[in-house]
Structure 1
Amino acid sequence: MLRKNEEGPRGGRRVVVTGIGVVAPGGIGTKQYWDLLTAGRTATRTITAFDATQFRSRVAAECDFNPVEAGLTQRQIRRWDRTTQFAYVAAREALVDSGIVGELHPERTGVMVGTACGMTISLDHEYAVVSDEGRIWQVDEAHAMPYLYDYFVPSSMAAEVAGLVGAEGPVGIVSTGCTSGIDVVTHAVDLIRDGEADVMIAGASDAAISPITVACFDAIKATTPRNDEPETASRPFDRTRNGFALGEGSAVFVLEEFGHARRRGAHVYAEIAGYASRCNAFSMTGLRPDGVELAAAITGALDLARVDRSEIDYINAHGSATKQNDLHETGAYKRSLGEHAYTTPVSSIKSMIGHSLGAICSLEVAASVLAIEHSVIPPTANLREPDPECDLDYVPLVAREQRTDVVLSVASGFGGFQSAIVLAGPGRWAA
């Protein structure tokens, strides 16, 4: 059981979520994001960002993001890659949502941003400029824009968010592929628990729907070729699944030491109760079907949170809609949760917003926190023909109203990375 004082697991300080900001396919802002998820709508469509006719997979979940409407200046728009724009807008919303603006102490405030791909779109575009569309091997730097170096160094994104909040504490980047969105949050939690900061602005951002990214996933046939049915192309746990749909977006959180949040009367969404990561040291892209490493991460997260596996109310799955991942996850839940796995609702929001690489796990953490806040479990869209080997309760098609106090969210990434995080609602621990 979670304790009611200000001491967290293993004697560290407790950390809570007090603000959420989202930029996602289908809606800019947390409310539009949650409305899309609970309605079971899909945001996947034929790629419009560039001419994708030459590629095997031409489906993605794009953000309808207008930087001017989002309040960015012309200088910011020119200087920042789309990934940075997403992170900045999401962080700004999280700060307003938390009510902490004006109460931050710079030296006790930090920023951590996760990303898998960094500034892919701008690097792709600028290389085309300096190489004259790839025609010259020795590029002409005279045509490079002055911010090209910023695109090469993902830490520039964290620095811009730090400038937004005036953070003078720990600031940095976490890049662990598709688990980045969980790993960045848990790293920020560790910094608060260790006393390095009282407040961390933490989350992930990726905007990598570009020719080079599509080509990379085409090469290993990881993305769906269901180009004639883009709205239903992503089908996690379905017998007809054949790969994930690319996505993009950002989710950023205000994380606070519990006592700090309580003293200022902040609204608390949830506590970051436990987390763990493992690596399978097996394959860059392959997964063992028994899910032993992901199961170990889940068990480690539950142990840190001091939560019994029978207390998990909902699992927000990685659910990428690839054959091996969905089987790997199913095996991991059975191994780590035992019989409770068969009665625990599971769903994958990638069915609606695609797979935004490093950003997706922060978007999934946001969905998990909102599931606690509203007692609603978002559905797995497009799950019409369940795979008999994926034999758990995957909440098909329609959202489910259910009291949700403890949520497990998981991630699985290239390189064999496996991460799990346990979130607990105020009903479990509030003093």
Structure 2
Amino acid sequence: MSPRRAVITGIGVMAPGGTGREAFWDLVTSGKTATRTISLFDPTGFRSRVAAECDFDAAALGLTPREIRRMDRAAQLAVVSAREAVSDSGLEPERLNPHRVGVALGSAVGCTMRLEQEYVVLSDHGRHWDVDHAYAVPHLYDYMVPSTLAREVAWACGAEGPVALISTGCTSGMDAVGHGARIIEEGAADVVVAGATDAPISPISVACFDAIKATSPNNDDPEHASRPFDLNRDGFVLGEGAAAFVLEPEDEARRRGAHIYAAITGYATRSNAFHMTGLKPDGREMAEAIGHALHEAQASAEDVHYINAHGSGTKQNDRHETAAFKRSLGDRAREIPVSSIKSMVGHSLGSIGAIELAACALVINRGVVPPTANLHTPDPECDLDYVPLTARECRVAGVLSVASGFGGFQSAMILQELGAVRG
């Protein structure tokens, strides 16, 4: 046993469909969706007018008026999730050495909502190229610099150790948790709050994805717009949210009698150095990341009992990762249940990797595999066991989760039940 192996002892989630970890779990095991017509702004005129929004009341969840005024929605989601994770872990922050507490937070698009709102004011709805800074709010700098998201979480948790913001597109959430695990393993901190946040449901983000036709235009039926691996899928559905984890060394978590959700036993990331948005059909880069994550975990394909797919609902991504699973796991790939929770909570860009890891840790603890909602007509090219429509009860001791992002980023992580860990 490696005494510095990182384990998860606390989970906090703020996702579409409900407030907190338990509401999130109830949604993703129900097969119901949280996708709907956009309400955060008037989407009239946009190609895609559907999203998965959080029903988020910052004041009701404990944020003060000053915090709400200062923080972008993404920061608010992150802080609320981090507080839930710390509470769930049973740690008492005031008893910790703050210099041994770190933060690793991921985000793809930072403080998009407040930045756009401020630009609209400063430019008088785009009428002026030269803007008058006198109209800017005092916190405009915070919105310009993504690292302030990690700072807010550090302030909320009393963390004075290593603090970092990881921004690698849609793999940011997984990469941040992987970075947090490395901080634990190398001994730079005894506790790390790791996770990710994004709140991209704003006109500028929706317009960007409209322009490349990546999002679903299924505006008349928003509940069924996100259809990963379905033959009739037509793009992903934008989402928002945050997830946070308390990571500790395994020996310390055992010593204090903490509830351990899972051990992080393997993590790897690769880039295809190929295209900003394009993916090669053979899935080689994702397969490479999966292989290295398994090697680090001292695990084989037989040790994987569930795969959390990236499953965005675009044709090229779904086929790419189907090929990657076959390439890295061989014949075993056809025996492992696979699903995409994006079918229910949408694609929240940088934060979804962390939200999906929360689902993975809960799968190990609760023995239920979430379904892929809206999967009625499987794509013949996506011919694995994608757990359509209904959750499945089964013992799961090892999970593979993958993430894929614009820029060619491909990441993979192995979570295992302690009894299944080797080495």
TM score, norm. by length of structure 1: 0.97
Give runs of aligned pairs for residues 188-337 of structure 1, distance below 5 A.
Answer: 188-337=180-329
Q: Give 3-state SS (helix, strand or coil) of 2:412's partner.
A: strand
**Cα deviation, residue 260, structure 1:** 1.4
**Cα deviation, residue 104, structure 1:** 2.0
Task: Show structure 2 runs of 5+ residues with no match.
Answer: none
Which of 11, 14, 35 aligns to 1:44? It is 35
Match of 1:62 in 2: 53
Which of 76, 79, 92 aligns to 1:88? It is 79
2:359 aligned with 1:361: no
In structure 2, how many angstroms separate the alpha carbons of the residues matched to 1:430 and 1:48? 48
Question: Runs (4+) of structure 1 moved beyond 3 Å?
Answer: none
Q: Give 3-state SS (helix, strand or coil) of 1:146's partner.
A: coil
Q: Give 3-state SS (helix, strand or coil) of 1:240's partner.
A: coil
**Cα deviation, residue 429, structure 1:** 3.9
Which of 168, 171, 187 aligns to 1:179? It is 171
In structure 1, how many angstroms separate the alpha carbons of the residues matched to 2:191 and 2:229? 38
In structure 2, how many angstroms separate the alpha carbons of the residues matched to 1:370 and 1:404? 10
Which of 76, 85, 101 aligns to 2:67? It is 76
**Cα deviation, residue 166, structure 1:** 1.2
- Paired amino acid for 1:254: V
2:2 aligned with 1:6: yes
Deviations 1:245-271 (Å, cap 9, x if unpaired)? 000000000000111111111110000
Match of 1:399 in 2: 391
In structure 2, how many angstroms separate the alpha carbons of the residues matched to 1:369 and 1:40? 18
Q: Give 3-state SS (helix, strand or coil) of 1:172's partner.
A: strand
Q: Give 3-state SS (helix, strand or coil) of 1:235's partner.
A: coil
Deviations 1:370-422 (Å, cap 9, x if unpaired)? 00010000000000000011000000000000000000000010000000000
Which deviates further from its counterpart, 94-103 or 54-63?
A: 94-103
For the Cα contact (< 8 Å) 2:310–2:404, is it kept in 1? Answer: yes
2:147 aligned with 1:155: yes
For the Cα contact (< 8 Å) 2:190–2:249, is it kept in 1? Answer: yes
- Paired amino acid for 1:269: Y
**Cα deviation, residue 430, structure 1:** 10
- Paired amino acid for 1:171: V
Deviations 1:199-242 (Å, cap 9, x if unpaired)? 10000000010000001001110000000010000000000001
In structure 1, how many angstroms separate the alpha carbons of the residues matched to 2:346 and 2:388? 16
Match of 1:351 in 2: 343
**Cα deviation, residue 427, structure 1:** 2.8
Q: How many residues align?
A: 422
Match of 1:34 in 2: 25
**Cα deviation, residue 18, structure 1:** 0.1
Match of 1:109 in 2: 101
Match of 1:427 in 2: 419
In structure 2, how many angstroms separate the alpha carbons of the residues matched to 1:131 and 1:326? 40
Which deviates further from its counterpart, 174-183 or 155-164?
A: 155-164
2:19 aligned with 1:23: no
- Paired amino acid for 2:213: K
In structure 2, how many angstroms separate the alpha carbons of the residues matched to 1:398 and 1:121? 35
**Cα deviation, residue 172, structure 1:** 1.3
TM score, norm. by length of structure 2: 0.99
Deviations 1:116-170 (Å, cap 9, x if unpaired)? 0000000000000111111111101111100000000111111111111211110
Match of 1:10 in 2: none
Q: Give 3-state SS (helix, strand or coil) of 1:300's partner.
A: helix
In structure 2, how many angstroms separate the alpha carbons of the residues matched to 1:186 and 1:149? 28
- Paired amino acid for 2:335: T
2:406 aligned with 1:410: no
**Cα deviation, residue 54, structure 1:** 1.0
In structure 1, how many angstroms separate the alpha carbons of the residues matched to 2:422 and 2:242? 29
Which of 356, 364, 368 aligns to 1:372? It is 364
Deviations 1:353-385 (Å, cap 9, x if unpaired)? 000000000000000000001000000000000
Q: Give 3-state SS (helix, strand or coil) of 2:128's partner.
A: coil
**Cα deviation, residue 426, structure 1:** 2.5
In structure 1, how many angstroms separate the alpha carbons of the residues matched to 2:261 and 2:180? 17
For the Cα contact (< 8 Å) 2:35–2:225, is it kept in 1? Answer: yes
**Cα deviation, residue 195, structure 1:** 1.1
For the Cα contact (< 8 Å) 2:184–2:192, is it kept in 1? Answer: yes
In structure 2, how many angstroms separate the alpha carbons of the residues matched to 1:98 and 1:317? 27
In structure 2, how many angstroms separate the alpha carbons of the residues matched to 1:423 and 1:430? 12
**Cα deviation, residue 28, structure 1:** 1.2
Alignment RMSD, CA only?
A: 1.0
In structure 2, how many angstroms separate the alpha carbons of the residues matched to 1:155 and 1:416? 23
In structure 1, how many angstroms separate the alpha carbons of the residues matched to 2:202 and 2:157? 30
- Paired amino acid for 1:64: D
